[in-house]
Amino acid sequence: MGGLAEHVAAVRAALPAGVELLYAMKANPDPAILRTLAPYLTGFEVASGGELRHLAEALPGTVPAAFGGPGKTDSELDAGLATGVRRFHVESTTELRRLALLATARGTVADVLLRVNLPFAAEGAALVMGGRPGPFGMSAEQARECVDLGLPGVRVRGVHAHLGSGLAAPAAADLARAVVGWAVGELDAAEVNVGGGMAVDYADPTARFDWPGYGAALGDLLAEFPGRVLRIEPGRALTVYCGWYVTEVLDVKRSGDEWFVVVVGGTHHLRTPAAKQHSQPFRVRSRARWSPPYPRPVTGSGPLTIVGQLCTPKDVLARVPDAAALPAPGRIAVGDTIVFGMAGAYAWNISHRDFLLHDPPLFRYDRPEH
Ligand SMILES: *Cc1c(COP(=O)(O)O)cnc(C)c1O
């Protein structure tokens, strides 16, 4: 976990002191990861009653949580009140009314940020969560209505927006500026959470989001709107680099002009490439020794697809246009190890792990040497 702690420490150091850093735990809720991140965070963004319970188990004591997510049930909201959730990210007028009733019944007041779907284009976003009709959050008019209602049991402190994911730093900074300007100008928001969605590049595992550039832009915003609290809640960009999925080549075969490499495991362990329709970055480690009494199958030239053990053509982990152009050792043979990188976010925890009832992967917590 050394790499993860170093990475989050650098992210924290790149942000102005006035910016609060939450971790969106849906990216990877592994307890060891939560504990490694915690010292560098203001708190966690949870998006379900299950995540709330999980956080309390992984980090006993009062861990500051912001409770977001579309579709929170009354029992989830009430659990949030019972466990002292710091902020509720409310998604609609109706949810605000339900929360107000529950809080009043408990004789407490819930601190709320209104999740707004603002008409700002998230330039270059991979996943657009706002700026057009959608299930997340409320319109600007509905947000004003929530404030005007003046309900007992809730205190509207400001605005929450998460309008896209896969944003490079300049686009994320522009979006933050637009959101904060609107929130302060229209609702006199004391707090603004501008969300997560900081870009990671699966095609270039060495690339990093420009945290210093983004931090400087947030610093400018704090100077422009003094006295306001600014908060961000990245998920993927914090943990994706700290996980590897290590597997072994079970078979190599030729079909037509193409090569297929079958590995132990598949997208039931690492669903990321299926979910994002990309090639998961990987490295090959050759196994030198070969003892079976038959020839060792090995790739040649031509298109190559790395697949898993599932009985579906969608179980694809990576594609390479020409196997002859593979980085060293330049080929893949049965018995080799394949190390998939960038498996620390939206990987095992989003995988359809019960499909075909294969064994789960083993987990190791250390710093692989490769
Ligand atoms: C998923 C999500 C995040 C984190 O997104 P990343 O792309 O992992 O940074 C943050 N906030 C909300 C509301 C989300 O739904």
Distance, first Cα to last Cα, the chain: 15
Q: Which residues contact 345 (CB under 8 A, 6 or more apart)?
A: 27, 28, 200, 235, 236, 238, 239, 240, 243, 272
Q: What is the pLDDT of residues 67-122, one digit of tens each?
A: 999 999 999 999 999 999 999 999 999 999 999 999 999 999 999 999 999 988 66
Q: What is the pLDDT of residues 234-254, one digit of tens each?
A: 999 999 999 999 999 999 999
Residues with CB under 6 A from ligand 1: 24, 26-27, 45, 68, 162, 165, 195-198, 233-237
- List every span in the chain annotated with CATH 3.20.20.10: 2-240
Ranges of H-type helices in 240-337: 272-276
pLDDT at 2: 66
- List every span in the chain annotated with CATH 2.40.37.10: 243-349
- 370 confidence band (pLDDT: 50, 70, 90): very low
* d(CA 88, ligand 1 centre) in Å: 15
Asked whether residue 132 carries a pLDDT value surpassing 50, the answer given is: yes
Q: What is the pLDDT of residues 279-334, one digit of tens each?
A: 999 999 999 889 999 999 999 999 999 999 999 999 999 999 999 999 888 999 99
User: What is the best residue among 7, 20, 45 to mutate for testing ligand 1's pocket, by most ligand atoms within 8 Å of CB?
Assistant: 45
- What is the average per-residue pLDDT within 187-200? 97
- What is the average per-residue pLDDT within 159-174? 94
Angle between helices 169-187 and 140-149 in degrees, nearest 10: 40
Ligand 1, atom 10: nearest CA belongs to which residue? 196
Residue 26 CA: which ligand 1 atom is closest?
1
- 126 confidence band (pLDDT: 50, 70, 90): low
Asked whether residue 233 carries a pLDDT value surpassing 90, the answer given is: yes
What would be the CATH architecture of the domain defined by 2-240?
Answer: Alpha-Beta Barrel (3.20)
Q: What's the pTM value of the predicted model, to 2 decimals? A: 0.95
Q: What is the pLDDT of residues 14-67, one digit of tens each?
A: 999 999 999 999 999 999 999 999 999 999 999 999 999 999 999 998 889 999
Could you list the beta-strand ranges (E) of 239-312. 245-255, 258-263, 282-285, 304-307
Give me the CATH code for the 243-349 domain, please. Answer: 2.40.37.10
Ligand 1, atom 7: nearest CA belongs to which residue? 197
Q: Which two tokens stand for residue 282?
A: 């990987």
Rounded distance, CA 139 to CA 145, Å?
A: 10
Grouping H, G, I as helix, E, B as strand and the rest as coil, residue 291 is coil
Residue 198 CA: which ligand 1 atom is closest?
9
Find, among 96, 121, 118, the residue nearest to 109 by Cα: 96
pLDDT at 127: 62
- What is the average per-residue pLDDT within 132-150? 95
* d(CA 315, ligand 1 centre) in Å: 25
* d(CA 2, ligand 1 centre) in Å: 24
Asked whether residue 368 carries a pLDDT value surpassing 70, the answer given is: no
* 49 membership: H or E segment, kind and range: helix 49-58
* d(CA 316, ligand 1 centre) in Å: 25
Determine the distance from the C-alpha atom of residue 79 to the mean position of all C-alpha atoms in its chain, rounded to a whole number: 24
